[in-house]
């Protein structure tokens, strides 16, 4: 056992004494040590209940002859961080989470690990740590919150951002907004739509690193407690069989995760997070692979913010296992081991589609390609990402005049101030991994556009990124970013931009000669960043097309 380096032998008497000080017995010291990486805190709705859930995991480990040892890592709520400087710090926490787990697990040699994430950057950060450490590992998330209800229909947090735009245009009163904000988040858990957290938790199932239903089972269901206990039991089976994280997370399972992502129409943030996980495995999972998978599959699930269905509905319809079954039946799913100790193809075979409107067949898809599209052109030679399955049909092909802003705040002010006209293409730049810094997630401007009814007429393009709660022609991850001298830095008000999502094109309709002239006359914006962590991040972070990894 790996833990014997601190528990066995004459020279380890001081080490054992420290374990005794925590109340461990001689028998416990001799047993396998299972680290439980818990992201519990009291500031994130998706994590506030993990203190209770971790006890179920511990029970499962104890029942199976192991000794659970809990430690924590950080988490922030992107919803609370949204729309102010706090969001600059969100994406960088992915690296902090991975680093902190790696440091702890090397210093305290565990025999196996249970990862307990819930929200946006925590899931990929923990996945990155899992493949770095390469121990027997399993994931059990906190689960999604239940959808709220307002005026007889289900709503999620993305609706609240849109309601701000409705209030601004007089389509909703402040009293109605107040009622909705009290009703939308009815339980703990990760926010209720197919936003980034729930997308990533669903993809742990596709990767095979979590038990079935991990991505969809609501946080407040008793079954979530049982799943946590079963995960504690199962990690001990992985330890006995010597099955490690990289036996499960590899090129085949990463391919399957992109495939499921496309079928779900998941968050655009997966185009950052999956390549970052792959990078830790030494695998190149670039945007061209996303594009190829998108061409070869279809979007068969459409959840909020793109529809009125929520994660709880998806769970009742069969969840990820049912999607895996549809993909297997269409000969798309690759064979690979999962934490069930069975092949993912066997997991798929047990899946059942219980509602064919929520989980559709390939002959009746929501979208005839994958739910994400990679666009390229002179404005984004390295690529840009759009949740194509959540774009209104009127905006799949669009040409409009640019209105350019050097920050999210300035763009939001213009949108809410009525300065955006139908047909405009809003450009928000200097919000990339380096330029933001931290590549802020922007649900405020996209939500305001949708709430004001402009999402059917206007596009928004940025070198930053969007929340999984964004919908419409919201095109992010434009690469190279403005701070790196990408063409987006040289767009001017009134320039025409052409978008063709069908043909994966994104072009600035300005000649190369004119762009070169502008490069000589226009200066790159340099921000005065005082945050020490962000200063370091800017120096280390890669391009968004490479997953915004740090090197």
- Under DSSP, is residue 386 helix (H, G, I), strand (E, B) or coil? strand
Please confirm whether the linkage preceding 75 is cis (ω < 30° from 0): no
Indicate which residue of 90, 388, 444, 467 is catalytic: 467
* CA gap 399, 419 in Å, rounded: 18
Which residues are 59's β-sheet partners?
none
Q: Are 238 and 138 in contact (CB under 8 A)?
A: yes
* CA gap 203, 285 in Å, rounded: 15
Closest CA to 77 of 110, 113, 138, 120: 120
Instruction: Name the DSSP class of 258.
Output: H
* CA gap 53, 42 in Å, rounded: 14
Given CA atoms 348, 351, 352, 355 in this order, what sign does their dihedral have?
A: negative
Structure tokens given for 523? 């200066």
Determine how many CB atoms are found less than 10 A away from the CB of residue 96. Answer: 17
* CA gap 303, 306 in Å, rounded: 6
Active site residue 190: no
Q: What is the 3-state secondary structure (H, E, C) of 113-177?
A: EEEECCCCCHHHHHHHHHHHHCCCEEECCCCECCCEEECCEEECHHHHHHHHHHHHCCCCCHHHH
Determine how many CB atoms are found less than 10 A away from the CB of residue 349. Answer: 14
Instruction: Name the DSSP class of 26.
Output: H
Instruction: Name the DSSP class of 189.
Output: S
Closest CA to 249 of 206, 207, 204, 199: 207
Q: Token pair 């798929």 is at which residue? A: 348
- Return the CA Rg of the chain: 23
Pairing of strands 496-500, 505-508: antiparallel
Instruction: Name the DSSP class of 370.
Output: -
Pairing of strands 459-462, 373-377: unpaired
Dihedral in degrees, nearest 10, Cα atoms 288, 290, 291, 297: 150
Residues acting as catalytic residues: 467
């Amino acid at each position: 056992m790996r833990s014997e380096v601190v528990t066995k032998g004459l020279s380890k008497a001081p080490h054992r004494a420290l374990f005794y000080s925590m109340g461990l017995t001689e028998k416990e010291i001799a047993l396998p040590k299972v680290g439980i990486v818990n992201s519990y805190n009291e500031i994130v709705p998706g994590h506030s209940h993990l203190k209770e859930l971790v006890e179920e995991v511990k029970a499962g480990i104890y029942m199976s002859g192991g000794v659970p040892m809990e430690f924590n890592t950080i988490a922030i709520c992107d919803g609370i961080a949204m729309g102010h400087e706090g969001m600059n710090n969100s994406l960088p926490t992915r690296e902090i989470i991975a680093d902190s787990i790696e440091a702890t697990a090397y210093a305290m040699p565990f025999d196996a690990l249970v990862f307990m994430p819930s929200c946006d950057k925590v899931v990929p950060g923990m996945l990155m740590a899992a493949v770095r450490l390469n121990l027997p590992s399993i994931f059990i998330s906190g689960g999604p919150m239940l959808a709220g209800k307002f005026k007889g229909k289900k709503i999620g947090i993305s609706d609240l951002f849109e309601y701000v735009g409705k209030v601004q245009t007089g389509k909703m009163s402040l009293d109605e907004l107040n009622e909705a904000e009290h009703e939308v988040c009815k339980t703990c858990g990760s926010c209720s739509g197919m936003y980034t957290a729930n997308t990533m938790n669903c993809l742990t199932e596709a990767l095979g690193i979590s038990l079935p239903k991990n991505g969809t089972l609501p946080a407040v269901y008793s079954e979530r407690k049982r799943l946590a206990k079963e995960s504690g039991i199962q990690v001990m089976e992985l330890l006995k069989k010597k099955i490690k994280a990289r036996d499960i997370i590899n090129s085949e399972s990463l391919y399957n995760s992109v495939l499921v992502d496309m079928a779900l129409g998941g968050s655009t943030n997966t185009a950052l997070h999956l390549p970052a996980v792959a990078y830790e495995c030494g695998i190149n999972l670039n945007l061209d692979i996303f594009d190829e998978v998108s061409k070869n599959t279809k979007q068969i699930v459409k959840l909020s913010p793109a529809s009125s269905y929520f994660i709880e509905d998806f769970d009742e319809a069969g969840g990820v296992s049912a999607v895996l079954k549809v993909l297997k039946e269409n000969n798309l799913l690759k064979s690979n081991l999962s934490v069930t100790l069975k092949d993912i193809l066997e997991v798929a075979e047990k899946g059942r589609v219980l509602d064919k409107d929520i989980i559709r067949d390939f002959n009746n898809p929501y979208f005839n390609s994958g739910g994400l599209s990679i666009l390229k052109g002179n404005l984004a030679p390295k690529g840009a990402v759009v949740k194509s399955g959540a774009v209104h049909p009127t905006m799949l092909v669009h040409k409009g005049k640019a209105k350019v802003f050097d920050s999210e705040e300035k763009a939001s002010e213009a949108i809410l101030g009525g300065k955006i006209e139908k047909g405009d293409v809003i450009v928000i730049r200097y919000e990339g991994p380096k330029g933001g810094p931290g590549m802020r997630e922007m649900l405020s401007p996209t939500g305001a556009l949708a709430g004001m009814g402009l999402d059917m007429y206007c596009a928004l393009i940025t070198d930053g990124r969007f929340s999984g709660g964004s919908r419409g022609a919201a095109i992010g991850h434009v690469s190279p970013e403005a701070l790196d001298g990408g063409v987006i830095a040289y767009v001017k008000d009134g320039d025409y931009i052409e978008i063709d999502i069908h043909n994966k094109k994104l072009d600035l309709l300005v000649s190369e000669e004119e762009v070169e002239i502008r490069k000589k006359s226009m200066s790159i914006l340099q921000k005065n960043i005082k945050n020490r962590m962000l200063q370091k991040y800017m120096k280390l972070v890669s391009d968004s097309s490479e997953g915004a990894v740090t090197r």
